[in-house]
Structure 1
Amino acid sequence: DQTTSEAVQITLTGSATDLDVNDTHTLTWDFGDGSQTVVGTQVQHTYPDNGSYTVTLTALDQDGGQATDSLLVTVNNTDPTIDSLAGDVEVFGGFEAQFNASASDAAGSHDPLTYTWDFGDGSDPVTGQNLTSTNHTYTQFGLMTVTLTVADDDGGQTQDTWFVTVKRPVVTDQFMFYNNTIYDGNGSQVSAIDANAIDTSKTALLPGETADTSNYSTCVSGINGIMIDVLGLADPSVLTIDDLELRVGNDNQTNSWSNAPQATLNLLQGAGENGTDRLVITWPDESITQTWLEVRLLANTNTKLQADHVFYFGNMIGEVTGDGFVSISDVFKIWNNRREPGIDTQVPVTNQYDLNQDGWVTITDVFLAWNNRAEQGIDAGLSMIQPPVENAPLVQSIEPVQVESRLAMALASMQGRYAMSLVQSDSPSYQLADISISDYLLEF
């Protein structure tokens, strides 16, 4: 008798003797598995499936005499083999992870294979015959071990594992945009066209950083639009304005800031950069001016963020010199950067001198700066804050830089001797009473 395994070739050897030494013999092998018989003294055979098989050898001489003998061949089952296992290595929670595999068995079609997928998160495994691909939606986060078990119908089985990291959503960027201006078609309705009104020269101030001119706008409408791009939101529709905390203030003690005016939240799915979901927060014009805005997207069951995402944008109408105050220097600088309709080309959304965001820098913008003066030593300017890192000691306010004495003297002189007023005739043209900007520049 012999013992072998599925798909393993065996060799069988036979011989026969006869009293008639002149007889020749034919040896015929029947392998007991339904396959064709084979003639020969030494033969090879492969059993495709496990089991016990009776091999019968028949010896026949030319006179019709015959004899038989047999032996038992036991064929053991062979475990299947997982040839490949692959799938996503990273996936955001709430999104489907895809997995696929292939396996083989020595018995081939004689042993159908059953695939059992355990996704490693405590959910019920998924089982099916020839289930070579599957998907799963994770609601937990972290590193998951996917275990694939492949079994044949004779009890043989094998396993392999795959690792997938289930990630939380992340904020990829945040922007300030000028809602209801020429850059978004003068429309207050939130839509994808609002992206044209993003001021790309402005970046969010993050905790631990010190503010500068790139973090605040100069326009008269104040902060009226913020966008947040988030990657990996499984169900953005559940988000509401309550998933945000919005506060305003002008010092480093951000935990004591007051609540911002009521805002409206709109969602533009897939409208953000690289297909991210875009949260659009808007306020009426002039709701938030001459101050800082803290935006906190909360880490909660709706956002599923790892931690609160916090950033800041500011506004100081007419402040174009970078000192946090609006003085005659800012007024002059806007005057010197005029871009008039019919004479010049329109300015882009990033132009800091276009205070009313109409695409031009005109005398109107000059007056807007003048009417929103915040003089150093007299008024409160926009503090160059350094908001604290979460759970870190607060940073003391930074004192504003003192303006040069010549400017202070010139400012006092102008305030004492002249009055600036707006005179409008039948046509939309403007002039200064008593003094021209150009004359004063020469004096200064």
Structure 2
Amino acid sequence: FIPVRTTGCSPFTVELSNNTHGTNNTYTWTFGDGSTPFITNSLQQVQHTYITGVQTTYPIQLVATNQCGSDTTSYNLVVSPNNIQLNLTVNGNELTGCAPHSVRFINASHNANSFTWNFNDGNTAVTFNNDDTVVHSFLQAGTYNVSVRAVNSCSDTTIARTIVVYGKPSAQFTLSNNNVCIGDTITTATNTQAVSTVWRWSNTTSNLRTPAITFSTSGTHQVQLIAANAYPSGVICADTVVRNVQVVTLRSGNIQVNDSVSNCAPFQLQYANATLAAAGTTQWLLNSNLINANTSGTHTIQNNGSYWLQMIHTTNGGCTYKDSIRIRLQATTGTWTYQSGTICNNTPVRFNAQTNGADSIRWYFGDGNVQTTTQATVFHTYVNAGHYVPH
């Protein structure tokens, strides 16, 4: 036998032509859909109607029998439903979101052979399962009308869902300093276009646009900015950025003195705190002895020697600045040589001095004459005969 058509749409009536040869034949038709087999002795055309809600393959079989035996032949008939039950859902909390936004499209359709997806962002896809979940990410802000076209051999239909994707604000900021001392104030700046800003550092949270930041402990600290926009749908899109700040407890200070080396005591030492630091308290120590607690002062050193002047400045925020300088008071020393023994009067005598730390030299020639010079060598003439002891 030969069916007129081997595919069709439900309800599908197939016409079967019996071309069997032989005499006294009995024909048994089985239609593969669970219906009662049809038995006949006629070669007349047979009709049978198939009704299905899903695409189904039906095996049609003809058995011809006579007194000599039997023979069998069969064909497969594919029948598709005439209607597609298209069912596409999106979880409510995924209909809107922040870019990049990932959406799960849940396909629970029936009777379709293929699905063509258009995500309206330049991307498409084709799937073949009726019971399926398709995940797609929308990278940019916008409104996307996502359509799905379902097709089988009998019909096609299309369904759409609207996805709204909002843009995230950019959380950018700068700090006036990322290496500070305890108690130092850090100023912040941001050019974010976000409606809401939240700052977090240590155990502090601030909603100010540009707060001032201080730290009370040393170490590596984080400053965090959360920039957010809230939309009428209830979606809040936020961006977060973090910066590290190094916090120390000790800095180098700066001492200014009138002089650090003098040739003789008593010496009046003048000192001042030239440190660029916040207000606080200052202590001055000379060889570990406290001599002052003001930002500047004077102190008289009575004896020659080497002294260490130390400054300790502690800001009101707890940062310590230290500096020290060596003060040296040293008397001049030296030796001198001259021509000794017996000489003739009116003969110039050469005097030579070797000094350390001297600004000038005063010569006593022993004949009542005194001369002050800055030169290390002088000549003196003794006019009268006599015994002289220069020094």
* Shorter-normalised TM range: 0.3 to 0.5
The structure, 1 or 2, with the larger RCO (C-alpha pairs under 8 Å, 6+ apart) is: 1
TM, length-normalised to structure 2: 0.36
Structure with greater helix share of residues: 1
TM, length-normalised to structure 1: 0.32
Structure with greater strand share of residues: 2
